[in-house]
């Protein structure tokens, strides 16, 4: 169990640029979640995959945000035309879903700063 | 909409003492799951303890235990024999169903004094 891996750890970008983050879940986990966490707040749900299917998207996920999970393995989260309000920690989590509640395993996150 | 409220932004406890962190939630569901997660500074979030709503017995994990009051929609975390390594942000979270999202509270910062 190597844990959930997220890259990069930090990303600084200028407003208007596009950024892409990657998440590698625990290898046997079929569920993958993206959350956003701003300073001093709890994580907010963005989207969720079961295998390669994106099953739920939050209304927080504007049309500038897109997430993919090709082949049900790693996932990417892309933000287009970044805005200063996008500055946050982006957390990825995975779990093994087999019909019972399996705990989420979180990665260390990608901290995005939009200048 | 489901909401989770943690009314204590910050708590302090003396090493070896006991502290209780509060959490209330709002839901119309009858079957759901509750969690406490710990997020140390600059480190990843880890699960501390979980509780199934259909279980009347309060969950316990070593020094961590919960007081689950379903009718009051309250889910507090008790940490006994506090240790320096317990210092972290603690989040209460709620989940409906097996694969659905977690809804988190705003968190409580726990400081442990030596």
**Residue A52 in contact with residue A72, Cβ under 8 Å?**
yes
Q: How confident is the model at residue A100, as a pLDDT?
A: 64
pLDDT (tens digit, 0 to 9) for every residue of chain A, 115 residues total?
579 999 999 999 999 999 999 999 999 899 999 999 998 889 999 999 999 999 889 888 889 999 999 988 999 999 999 999 999 999 999 998 766 677 889 999 999 999 9
* CB proximity B41 to A under 8 Å: no
By three-state DSSP, how is residue B48 classified?
strand
Tell me which residue of A48, A40, A52 sits closest to A88, measured CA to CA: A40
Mutate to test the interface with A, among B38, B55, B102, B108 (most CBs of A within 10 A): B102
User: Which pLDDT belongs to residue A98?
Assistant: 66
Confidence of residue B22 (pLDDT cuts 50, 70, 90): very high
Q: How far apart are CA A94 and CA B111, in angstroms?
A: 29
Instruction: Find the closest chain B residue to A58 by CA distance.
Output: B101
As a whole number of angstroms, the distance between CA B98 and CA A58 comes to 17
Q: Which residues of chain B lie closer than 8 angstroms to A106, CB-CB?
A: 44-46
- Is the Cβ of B4 closer than 8 Å to some Cβ of chain A? yes
pLDDT (0 to 100) of residue B74: 96
pLDDT in tens, B26-74: 988 888 899 999 999 878 899 999 999 988 899 999 999 999 999 999 9
Of B103, B80, B83, B81, nearest in space to B91 by CA: B103
pLDDT at residue B1 is higher than 80: no
Question: Would you state the pLDDT for residue A102?
Answer: 78
Residue A96: predicted pLDDT: 86
* Distance of alpha carbon A106 from alpha carbon A103, whole angstroms: 10
B18–chain A nearest CA distance, Å: 24
For B61-112, the pLDDT digits (tens) are 999 999 999 999 999 999 999 999 999 999 999 988 766 788 999 999 999 9
Cβ separation A104–B107 shorter than 8 A: no
- Cβ neighbours of residue A56 under 8 Å, at least 6 residues apart? A47, A48, B100, B101
pLDDT of the residue at A1: 53
């Amino acid at each position: 169990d190597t844990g959930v891996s997220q890259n990069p750890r930090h990303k600084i970008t200028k407003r208007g640029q596009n950024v892409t983050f990657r998440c590698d879940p625990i290898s046997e986990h079929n569920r993958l979640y993206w959350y956003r966490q701003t300073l001093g707040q709890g994580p907010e749900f963005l989207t969720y995959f079961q295998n390669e299917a994106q099953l739920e998207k939050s209304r927080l996920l504007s049309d500038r945000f897109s997430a993919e999970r090709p082949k049900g393995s790693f996932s990417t989260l892309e933000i287009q035309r970044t805005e200063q309000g996008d500055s946050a920690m982006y957390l990825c989590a995975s779990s093994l879903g087999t019909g019972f509640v399996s705990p989420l395993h979180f990665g260390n996150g990608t901290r995005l700063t939009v200048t | 909409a489901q909401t989770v409220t943690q009314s204590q932004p910050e708590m302090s406890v003396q090493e070896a003492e006991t502290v209780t962190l509060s959490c209330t939630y709002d839901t119309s569901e009858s079957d759901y799951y509750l969690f406490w997660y710990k997020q140390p500074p600059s480190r990843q979030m880890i699960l501390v303890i979980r509780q199934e709503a259909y279980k009347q017995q309060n969950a316990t994990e070593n020094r961590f235990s919960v007081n689950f009051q379903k009718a009051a929609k309250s889910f507090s975390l008790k940490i006994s024999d506090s240790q320096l390594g317990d210092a972290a942000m603690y989040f209460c979270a709620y989940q409906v169903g097996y694969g659905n999202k977690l809804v988190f509270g705003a968190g409580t910062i726990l400081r442990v004094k030596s």
